[in-house]
Amino acid sequence: MAEKKNRRFGKKLAVAIICGVLCGAVLAGGPMGYSFLKSRIDQKKEENGKRTEEPLPSKEETVETTEQITEPEGARIASVYDVSVVWDNVIPAMVVIDTKQIETYDFFGHVYEEESEGSGTGIIIGQSDELFLVTNHHVIDGATAIQITFVDGSTAPAVVKGSNAKEDIAVLSVDFSDLDEETLKKIRVATIGDSDALTGGEMVIAIGNAAGGGQSLTVGYVSAVDREVEIEGVSMKLIQTDAAINPGNSGGALLNAKGELIGINNAKLVATKVEGVGYSIPVSNVLSLINRLVNREEIPYEDSAVLGIEGKDVTESLSAALNIPRGVYISAYTKDSAAEEAGIPLYSVITEVNDMEVETMEQLKEVLGYIRGGSEGTVTVQERVEGEYVPREYTITFDRKGE
């Protein structure tokens, strides 16, 4: 392997995830703010006569771009008649993700552990001090080690920057020091499209690590937009397509005819008894989440936030049976807890923390892991008032887990 790059690649960027695949954007450029998707989405909304209702979150400290990524020589323009153009332009942004997990088995009271392996797909979506990749949460869930294989066959370790089980989205990061100079010249950042502009019948292209055999391409059409699908008790609105999406395609790209990323494929939802039905997470629906995961501060476990409550999940069945909103039901406080000090009432239902939706204790712990103990934030609850549940927001100073 060639000598490792010991300096950061190019000048530091504070994420600009709208670097172009079609314009063949190699990983270069100057410093940028972490509002990496906003400018692209604003542009797309203007082109379609729409406006973004809420700006995407960004880091408080940002700097303007001092260099513009330029179109490399030999970049091709895609057409619906030649999807090889899309392949040429997008494949440098695709990666194979290989994981290792520890499986635990209980055999007549004896517990055994066995290492297993998994495989999926990822998409290069941006860079700053690190290279950022997006994939499905279930691809990396429980992984003890993650290895990325790039378009040139080189490999590098990755770590989870942030993950959301409900939306099935994860962001991984790769240190530039683990990448060769030659690899940096060959990989690119994907162009983000506008999935809100999709209509039924549009041609789409899926690229992913099907069956773990390496990257491959399939072509189809949008069968439906905003198709409501439920898996493991979670309801999601997805793009339905007849482009083949097979095991190993999870976390791969669904592209429009221009080669723009408009969906993140989810092979977990593939039905074995149905042909020509695949699903993809609309990219516009998860841009804000991806931005938060990329911008997530690395907080040591002992410094992360806690509310100081005991809670129970209000599942969909309980919600329907008892007429209680879905979320985390507060059944008890710990003594002098942050939640009690903030005046959050016992027996209310937590639905959001710092504007991030929660429906289970697992999701609540995940969100609190992104927050530093001692910081101030907000908790939204559904509170019972005169027999009806009404939303109320409370300002809270989070407790620190290590205290």
CB-based contact 193:218 (threshold 8 Å): no
- Asked if 250 is an active-site residue, the reply is yes
Number of Cβ within 10 Å of residue 26's Cβ equals 18
User: Hey, what are 386's tokens?
Assistant: 């005169």
User: Hey, what are 372's tokens?
Assistant: 């530093």
Which is nearest to 282 in space by CA: 199, 357, 348, 365?
199
- Asked if 138 is an active-site residue, the reply is yes
- Asked if 79 is an active-site residue, the reply is no
Question: Coil, strand or helix: which one is 184?
Answer: helix
CA 273 to CA 264: how far, in whole Å?
22
Question: Does the CA dihedral 197-203-206-211 come out positive or negative?
Answer: positive
User: Hey, what are 22's tokens?
Assistant: 């079609």
What letter represents residue 179's amino acid?
A: L
Element holding 328 (H helix, E strand): strand 327-333
Which is nearest to 280 in space by CA: 359, 167, 140, 132?
167
CB-based contact 15:292 (threshold 8 Å): no
When computed from its CA atoms, the radius of gyration of the chain, rounded to whole angstroms, is 22
Which is nearest to 206 in space by CA: 94, 118, 99?
94
Q: Give the per-residue SS3 of 340-367.
A: HHCCCCCCCEEEEECCEECCCHHHHHHH
Would strands 309-314 and 327-333 be described as parallel, antiparallel, or unpaired?
A: antiparallel
In the set 98, 168, 196, 399, the catalytic residue is 168
Element holding 88 (H helix, E strand): helix 84-90
In the set 98, 138, 288, 304, the catalytic residue is 138
CA 159 to CA 356: how far, in whole Å?
23
Which is nearest to 162 in space by CA: 142, 189, 188, 134?
134
CA 227 to CA 243: how far, in whole Å?
15
Question: Coil, strand or helix: which one is 285?
Answer: helix
Give the active site residues: 138, 168, 250
